[in-house]
Amino acid sequence: MLIYNTTYHCEQSCYEEFLAWMRKEYIPVAMGHGGLVSPRISRIMGGDDAEGVSLSVQFETEGIDSLSSWYEACGEALVARLEDKFAQRVAGFSTIMERIDL
């Protein structure tokens, strides 16, 4: 099982709008394609909120093929929508992690 994580940093002025958009648009669209499960959003602590807020958005996926298929069918368009809506107010980067059982 892989974890697809995207860390976002958003300006304080758009934090509530960004969080609402992630909940109402991004996550439902991402889940609608299939291939991604178990969405979660976490606030990253320890920064200076005056400079903005950092969030981690994670999904689980069966493997790299499933993730690649999702990204081609859905992910690229979602990134474009996010950039159109929030422009320079939100920046992000993605990582792929392998879950290791305890």
What's the confidence (pLDDT) of residue 47? 67
Do residues 94 and 3 touch, judged by C-beta distance below 8 A? no
Tell me the torsion sign for CA atoms 62, 60, 14, 17.
positive
Residues 68 and 12: their CA atoms lie apart, in Å, by 32
Across the strands, what pairs with 19? none
- The domain at 2-98 falls in which architecture? 2-Layer Sandwich (3.30)
Domain boundaries of the chain, sorted by first residue: 2-98
**Tokens of residue 92, six digits:** 């992000």
> Given a cut of 90, is residue 28 above it in pLDDT?
yes
> For 39-56, how does the pLDDT look when each residue is reduced to its tens digit (9 = 90+)?
999 999 986 667 799 999
For the cut 90, the answer to whether the pLDDT of residue 95 exceeds it is yes
